[in-house]
Structure 1
Amino acid sequence: MKMSFLKKTNIPQILFLILVLGSCGKDIKNREKEITTVEDTLPKMKPLGPEKKISQAYINSVAGRINHFYTKNWKNNSMNGGFLVAKNGQIIFEKYNGYADKNEGTTINADTPIHIASVSKVLTATAVLKLVNAGKLDLDQKVNTILKTFPYPECTVRMLLSHRSGMRNYAYFTDRDKSVWDRHNQLTNKDILELLATKDIGLEARTGTRFAYCNTNYAMLALIIEKITGLTYKEAMTQMIFKPLGMTHTFVFDWEKDRKTIVPSYKGNNVEIGLDYMDAVYGDKNIFSTPRDLLKFDRARNSPDFLKPELLKQVYTGYSNERKGTKNYGLGIRMINWETGQNFYFHNGWWHGYTSSYIPLQKENITIIALSNKFTRNTYAVRKLAPVFGDYPFNFKDEE
């Protein structure tokens, strides 16, 4: 009788547990399948195939001038960081110098990820452009059709990419008014959107009327990437760019996980600069990388599979020429357009003590990359190497 009673009472419970566990298993499998499906449908960067091999004679012909430039501008000024020059994806010159972390005594090498500051915008723009290229997004789509609470109805994706939204920089409207944001709290991209939607943050200029470089634009683009892909910005960038290109030392900074392990930055006098309340915002910044990884990224942007020709042309069209001049901005890339018809494309960055410069000399297939975790404006001087390779009116002699 006792055995019979146990069987009768346990069988329904066992069956229930089997059903529950089976259901959980199916949910996990379905979730994994869903994530895999999302990743499979993402447009991804593709590595550029083999390029024409450069000769040792060519390397010898330019290496001396590059080395002289490096020694005068960086090594003699205690440069902390990495510097790379390549042609056809093949490294001509490469140097690493200084401390990654002075307290721990670790030095910077080819595998040391450094915050690339606003050069992150080039990568964010690349992800957006890949989504446009795949038909998942339109350049002239209104932002409020994607981010429903976005309060500026005339602003488009193109305006965010080209800094023509008219928005104010989040660094200013969260820093100066405690009623808008308490700086004891970590600011996020979603917080910025919420503040724009609820705090009556006025525009700097009427939407679409003028160029004004503004980090808020790229914080919103990161949210658009998340909305379109269904992934976090970090996951989307990993799946679309970092992983396919083998950028194994590149990552999006995660405030919760990474803040105690990243390479810190320093003032020019070697005093460490701490993190602040804006260090969780991504899209405009917050990618860590190396010169070698960024070289892989640069060459992939030269792949025939990068973008359709008509879209690619729009990337390198200037959108900031209200007044006649040479300085301009495309879709995620700075440019100088001289009257001679020569064009120079680049993007610089500065965040805390980190400075960065990314220069693709497209006609010559030259890539110049400089990253530093100790503040110096010398990082930006690498543009003056351009005359070594082509007809660019920078004065190299100033650096000699």
Structure 2
Amino acid sequence: MTLKYSLSNYIFLFLCTLTIGCTKQDKTDTLDSELSESGLPMMQPSKVDYPSVNANYKSTKKAAIENYCQKYWRNESSNLSFLVAKNGQILYERYQGIGNRRTQEPITKDTPLHIASVSKVLTATAVLLLIDTGKIDLDQKVNTILKSFPYPDITIQTLLNHRSGLRNYAYFTEDKGVWDRKKTLTNQDILNLFTEKNIELESPTDKRFCYCNTNYAMLALIIEKVTGLNYREAMQQMIFKPLKMNNTFVFDIDKDKERVTPSYKGNNMELAFDYLDGIYGDKNIYSTPSDLLQFDLARNAPSFLNPDLRAKIYKGYSNEHKGTKNYGLGIRMIEWETGQKFYFHNGWWHGNTSSYISLGKEGVTIIALSNKFTKNVYSVRKLAPLFGDYPFEFNDED
């Protein structure tokens, strides 16, 4: 049987072939744009087309934030790097104080400061990207990745939500005979000590919440094992570079001690580095508010992770005791009986204090950093009621 095609048939077939070819090319281009040089998943900048913030709204909020600053940051000798943004548009920013007293360099918008435990949010994000692309699983046992890890019940999830039961490395390395504190401790050293010194769990796995830096030191090792890169390079390729976080980096104690912004006590005494300053994952990221704003916008974009995994970030996993405080996957939260939730993470390391607040529902980002110890950094949560139904009293004393 012979088939006869009209001219219109041939045109139709040609267009179908062209469409299929273009579709394949588009998919390939999209895939390439989401992979790093090492074939790793990259966090994508937000492409959300937010509405512009009108001048009246901006002026009103700016005046209220300035009123807050007059209460908490009136003293110009206080060190502060601070930003409030709505829909990615900066409503207010403030940079004050001397970043390095030896050189008299002031703090500017481009001065990277140690973000302390806010680093955990970024470490968790890298792990979630690896989960989202199928390189690891959320419920995967850690000992299937780190072969010498001696605790068989601990999963990636129980590291992320602080339910592993691991002891804090800052405490068990102080025990007699465990570690020579004249030597810089590394992430791999912590893993080795678990077996060499028979470090027992503080509590059974997944029985209770216990905030512990060791969890995130292990997550950094997992990132290294899965990516084949050191944590610094993996974070650069997966998060910092694609988001153009040009003033953000992971501290290297062997190379960066003389170039980073020092930290200070409240009396301006410079704090020295110690044997714990080689550990990363739980801390040791330096950044700026504007870089962290780009990170927050990307985390709140609809394209960030698949919806099911994304929802798990903002779920509270520790409900043994009735209360409002809880912890998700790399994020702290307050859950009120009204159903309102407040997502944030604070940090404190040496003289460095930090606060990262993400009001996703309202499209607001609040970031405060200081390299001179002050609890005033944590007071920025009192700005949340300017944007939504958050029961923090602006005029209350801390």
User: One fold, TM greater than 0.5?
Assistant: yes
What SS does the corresponding residue of 1:152 show, helix, strand or coil?
A: coil
Task: For residue 320 of structure 1, report the CA deviation from its aligned partner.
Answer: 1.6
Runs of 4+ in structure 1 over 4 Å off: none
Conserved? CA contact 2:355–2:377, under 8 Å = yes
Q: Who is 2:326 aligned against?
A: 328
1:232 lines up with 2:230 in the alignment: yes
Corresponding residue number in structure 1 for 2:370? 372
Aligned length: 363
Q: Give the Cα separation in 2 of the matches to 1:342 and 1:357.
A: 20
Counterpart for residue 360 of structure 1? 358
Is the Cα contact below 8 Å between 2:344 and 2:356 reproduced in 1?
yes
2:241 matches 1:217 = no
Deviations 1:274-298 (A, max 9, x none): 1000001000000000000000000
Match for residue 382 of structure 2? 384
* Residues 46 and 244, structure 1, Cα contact 8 Å, conserved in 2: yes
CA distance in 2, matches of 1:38, 1:340: 42
- The within-5 A match list for 1:48-87 is 48-49=46-47, 50-76=49-75, 78-87=77-86
SS of the residue corresponding to residue 266 of structure 1 reads: coil
Structure 2 counterpart of 1:57, one-letter code: N
**Uncovered stretches (5+) of structure 2, i.e. residues with no partner:** 1-34
Unaligned runs of 5+ residues in structure 1 are: 1-36
Q: Is the 8 A contact 1:316 1:333 kept in 2?
A: yes
Contact 2:77 2:98 in 1 (8 A): no
1:146-295 paired onto structure 2 within 5 Å: 146-177=145-176, 179-295=177-293
Answer whether contact 2:36 2:42 (CA < 8 A) is retained.
Answer: no
Which residue matches 1:16? none
| TM-score with structure 2 setting the length | 0.90
Q: Which of the pair is proportionally richer in helix?
A: 1
CA deviation string 1:12-41 (max 9, x = no partner) = xxxxxxxxxxxxxxxxxxxxxxxxx97342
Report the 3-state secondary structure (helix = DSSP H, G, I; strand = E; otherwise coil) of the residue aligned with 2:90.
Answer: strand
Contact 2:76 2:97 in 1 (8 A): no
- 1:45 equivalent in structure 2: 43
2:19 maps to which residue? Answer: none
C-alpha distance in structure 1 between counterparts of 2:397 and 2:206, whole Å? 39
CA RMSD of aligned residues (A): 1.3
The match for 2:22 is none
Within 1, Cα distance between the matches of 2:142 and 2:70?
A: 47
Equivalent position amino acid for 2:208 in 1: R
Q: What is the DSSP-based 3-state SS (H/G/I as helix, E as strand, rest coil) of the residue aligned with 1:257? A: coil
- Deviates most, 65-74 or 377-386: 65-74
Greater shift after overlay, 88-97 or 168-177? 168-177
Q: Check whether the contact 1:73–1:399 (CA below 8 A) recurs between aligned residues.
A: no
1:256 counterpart SS class: coil
Aligned to 2:295: 297
1:395 aligns with 2:385: no
What displacement does 1:302 show? 1.2
TM-score with structure 1 setting the length? 0.89
Per-residue CA deviation, residues 223-253 of structure 1 (Å, 9 max, x unaligned), is 0000000000000000000000000000000
Q: Which amino acid aligns with 1:115?
A: H
1:42-88 deviations in whole A, cap 9, x for unaligned?
Answer: 11111112322111111011111100111210232732020100000
Match of 2:29 in 1: none
Whole-Å separation in 1 of the counterparts to 2:128 and 2:304: 9
Residue of structure 2 equivalent to 1:119: 118
Contact kept, 8 Å, 2:36 with 2:238, in 1: the verdict is no
Task: Kindly provide the amino acid, as one letter, of the partner of residue 348 in structure 2.
Answer: W
Q: Secondary structure at the match of 1:273?
A: coil
| 1:309 CA drift (Å) | 0.4
